[in-house]
């Protein structure tokens, strides 16, 4: 069957094709006209990358006897200490282009709000980005005729830049190698488990930590050991399940640890 083209589509096609024909007649050849601009900018970009590399390498130093943790240069360290899954000594901090997500996690704190930061907002943005040309179908490309588009086009980058800056200057989630600030608790095997599984990126156990999940420095909001156990195993409210990540013994150690934080006496054994 032959296609029947709607009037609307014919109008669009005629407009586009007229424009294209005029372009073919009056336009400049891509080479050398546009290629000249391209070459200049490409050279500048590559030189900028090389310059950043040289500054990064020249101002930061390797890890050696005098600098066991490496030396930060103007553009950061060449590398930090080797990852040790057993102890979390640095705050988790993503690349700069993920800082806006990081900041969203700070703004939305409680578990149900967290759904906004991790799912709803990013998903809306991704979908909006992909389908934007199918939403904004107005034929006019002139800036003065696209008030809604311009509102989006200016506010989205402004919000992203603001979130990135806020995320960049925010204090880190964890400040030291201590988990609770109490050596008696820190010495327990559960402290190492907490550290190695990044629990402090969301919870504070007394020595600082994320604010994404409830503060556990005085024990859990619901001190019932069975509830704590269920929460660790199954997650919920934004927290992932850790059932597969720990052995049953380890989960029991964690439960005792958190109960102990509530009563103020470290569990024995």
Partner 1 sequence: MPIPAPDPQQLVLQAEDWVEYRTGFPTLVRQFLFRKVPPTGWWHTLGSSLLTVFIMQAVTGSLLAMSYDPSPNGAYESIRYITDQQTLGWLIRGMHKWGASMMVILLFLHMGRVFFYGAYKYPRELTWLTGSLIFLSTMAMGLTGYLLVWDERAYWASVVAVNINGTAPVLGPFISKFLLAGPVFGAQTISRFYALHMLLIPGLIGALIFIHLWLVVKLGVTPWPGRPVPGDEVTGD
Q: Which of 110, 151, 157, 248 binds partner 1 (CB under 8 A)?
A: 157
Count of residues in the chain: 269
Element (H, E) at 225: helix 225-234
- Confirm if 228 and 194 have CB atoms less than 8 A apart: no
- Smaller CB separation from partner 1, 237 or 264: 237
Q: Does 23 bind partner 1 (CB under 8 A)?
A: yes
What is the C-alpha separation between 175 and 207, in angstroms, rounded? Answer: 7
Q: Which of 59, 72, 109, 146 binds partner 1 (CB under 8 A)?
A: 146
**Cβ within 8 Å of residue 168, ≥6 positions away:** 96, 99
- Smaller CB separation from partner 1, 96 or 221: 96
Q: Which of 2, 7, 147, 169 binds partner 1 (CB under 8 A)?
A: 7
DSSP 118: I
Q: Does 177 bind partner 1 (CB under 8 A)?
A: no
Interacting span for partner 1 (CB under 8 A) from 56-64, 183-191, 218-226, 251-259? 56-64
Interacting span for partner 1 (CB under 8 A) from 37-45, 183-191, 223-231, 261-269? 37-45
Q: Which of 1, 4, 24, 66 binds partner 1 (CB under 8 A)?
A: 24
Angle at 109 between CA 106 and CA 112, to 5 degrees: 135
Q: Does 184 bind partner 1 (CB under 8 A)?
A: no
- Smaller CB separation from partner 1, 3 or 130: 130
Instruction: Report how far apart, in Å, the C-alpha atoms of 220 and of each of 202, 207, 231, 232, 261 are.
Output: 14, 16, 10, 11, 8
What is the C-alpha separation between 91 and 174, in angstroms, rounded? Answer: 5
Instruction: Report how far apart, in Å, the C-alpha atoms of 171 and of each of 106, 210, 237 are.
Output: 11, 10, 25
Q: Does 158 bind partner 1 (CB under 8 A)?
A: no
State which of positions 190-229 bind partner 1 (CB under 8 A): 196-198, 201-202
What is the C-alpha separation between 226 and 69, in angstroms, rounded? Answer: 41
Q: Which of 59, 71, 93, 178 binds partner 1 (CB under 8 A)?
A: 93
- Smaller CB separation from partner 1, 84 or 265: 84
- Smaller CB separation from partner 1, 12 or 184: 12
Q: Which structure tokens are listed for 87?
A: 């102890």
- Smaller CB separation from partner 1, 245 or 259: 245
Interacting span for partner 1 (CB under 8 A) from 115-123, 179-187, 220-228, 253-261? 115-123
Phi/psi at 80 (nearest 5 deg)?
-100, -170
Q: Does 15 bind partner 1 (CB under 8 A)?
A: yes
- Smaller CB separation from partner 1, 6 or 269: 6
Q: Give how many residues touch partner 1 by CB under 8 A.
A: 99
CA-based torsion, 103, 109, 111, 114: positive or negative? negative
């Amino acid at each position: 069957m032959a296609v029947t083209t709607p009037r609307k589509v014919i109008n669009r096609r005629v407009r586009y094709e007229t424009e294209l024909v005029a372009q073919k007649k009056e336009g400049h050849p891509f080479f050398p006209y546009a290629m000249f601009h391209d070459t200049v900018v490409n050279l500048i970009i590559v030189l900028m990358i090389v310059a950043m590399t040289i500054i990064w390498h020249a101002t930061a130093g390797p890890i050696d006897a005098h600098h066991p943790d490496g030396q930060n240069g103007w553009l950061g360290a060449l590398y930090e200490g080797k990852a040790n899954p057993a102890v979390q000594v640095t705050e988790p901090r993503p690349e700069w282009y993920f800082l806006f997500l990081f900041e969203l996690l700070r703004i939305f704190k409680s578990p149900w709000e967290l759904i906004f930061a991790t799912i709803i907002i990013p998903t809306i943005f991704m979908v909006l980005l992909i389908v934007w040309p199918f939403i904004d179908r107005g034929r006019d490309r002139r800036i003065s005729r696209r008030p809604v588009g311009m509102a989006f086009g200016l506010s989205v980058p402004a919000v992203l830049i603001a979130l990135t800056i806020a995320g960049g200057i925010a204090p880190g989630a964890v400040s030291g190698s201590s988990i609770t600030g109490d050596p008696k608790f820190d010495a327990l095997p559960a402290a190492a488990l907490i550290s190695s599984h990044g629990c402090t990126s969301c919870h504070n156990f007394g020595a600082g930590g994320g604010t994404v999940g409830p503060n556990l420095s005085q024990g859990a909001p619901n001190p019932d050991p069975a509830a704590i156990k269920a929460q660790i195993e199954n997650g919920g409210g934004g927290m992932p399940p850790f059932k597969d990540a720990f052995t049953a013994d380890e989960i029991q150690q964690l439960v005792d640890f958190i109960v102990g934080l509530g009563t103020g006496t470290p569990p024995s054994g």
